Amino acid sequence: MTRRLAQVAKKVGVSEATVSRVLNGKPGVSEGTRRSVLTALDVLGYERPTQLRGERARLVGLVLPELQNPIFPAFAEVIGGSLAQQGLTPVLCTQTKGGVSEADYVELLLQQQVSGVVFAGGLFAQADAPHDHYRLLAERKIPVVLVNAPIEGLDFPCISCDDAVAVEQAWRHLESLGHRRIGLVLGPADHIPSRRKLAAARLASEAAGGELPEEFVERTMFSLEGGHAAATRLLARGVTGIICASDPLALGAVRAARRRGLAVPGDVSVVGYDDSAFMNCTEPPLTTVRQPIEAMGRAAVELLCAQIQGGEVHPGELLFEPELVVRGSTAQAPR
């Protein structure tokens, strides 16, 4: 007990006597200090006293599918900083292959009595993936915000970048450069944002008086290697422009072109999606569609806090406008 008091007191920066007063429910402690002590207990892994367990911790789960794609650390930085400004402590939950599953993380977060959960990508974006752990959160009435795809049948608020506008911007850019054989590298077939991008590409192709051939659409896993493999198949079919559903996929497409002895952008143009870190430092610098990460992250935290505070939050999706950032990976189509 003494060791626990000392650790919590050090974590919060108060005396052990203050920590003891909080744990025993005695007066004389400000609300801010009381919350800080309870949060420190949660972070250090100590159980709350029985009389305090009914209160939700000032913890918020931040569940990410991976950290290799720089877009997810970027979201984590914005969302984590915004949560801290609201007096909430983010608990980062990152999935790894063969490691803790998303459903397991949800169970752990529920055990910690979290105030809410933000999912920035994950199984909710895949229509055929198991969604039972999301339903569990809904049943427990835990505040939840999703980033980049809604879940059909669950009324969680969602923050998304407009996939249709993103593809339309990229498509028009390549068309303006004279490209007519434009291919797509997308995520798996049940990935909702990729489905939206494909639908937008088909509309853009029809608007230009053509039709998007099925052989110009490749689906793969979100990785540089996946982009390389998918783009290799597209290049063999004669595409001159490639629109990718993420920046790592686009970097894989650039590598695929070079392995075939093609120049980027001389022989083939490549467009990414996200404008994640260092895309202006690649060779060539990557043309990509930028997600407004700062605005989206802050909006996600505002929606979560409104729910935590008992306010009315309308379910549904808020769409944010993307921005095409033209760099050196796109040029006039080869003649």
| Short-list 134, 113, 19, 120, CA closest to 59 | 113
**3 state DSSP class of 325:** strand
pLDDT in tens, 98-148: 678 899 999 989 888 899 999 998 899 999 999 999 999 999 889 999 999
Mean local confidence (pLDDT), 172-195? 96
Please report the pLDDT score of residue 29 as a whole number: 85
Please report the pLDDT score of residue 106 as a whole number: 93
pLDDT in tens, 295-306: 999 999 999 999
In contact, 141 and 299? CB cutoff 8 Å: no
**3 state DSSP class of 242:** strand
| Short-list 273, 301, 306, 290, CA closest to 159 | 301
Mean local confidence (pLDDT), 7-14? 86
Please report the pLDDT score of residue 1 as a whole number: 58
How would residue 81 be classed by pLDDT, with cut points 50, 70 and 90? very high
pLDDT of 50 > 60? The answer is: no
pLDDT of 257 > 90? The answer is: yes
**3 state DSSP class of 159:** strand
pLDDT in tens, 223-252: 999 999 999 999 999 999 999 999 999 999
Please report the pLDDT score of residue 51 as a whole number: 58
Please report the pLDDT score of residue 56 as a whole number: 61
For the question of whether the overall pTM of this predicted structure is more than 0.85, the answer is no
pLDDT of 12 > 70? The answer is: yes
- Euclidean distance between CA atoms 50 and 266, whole angstroms: 68
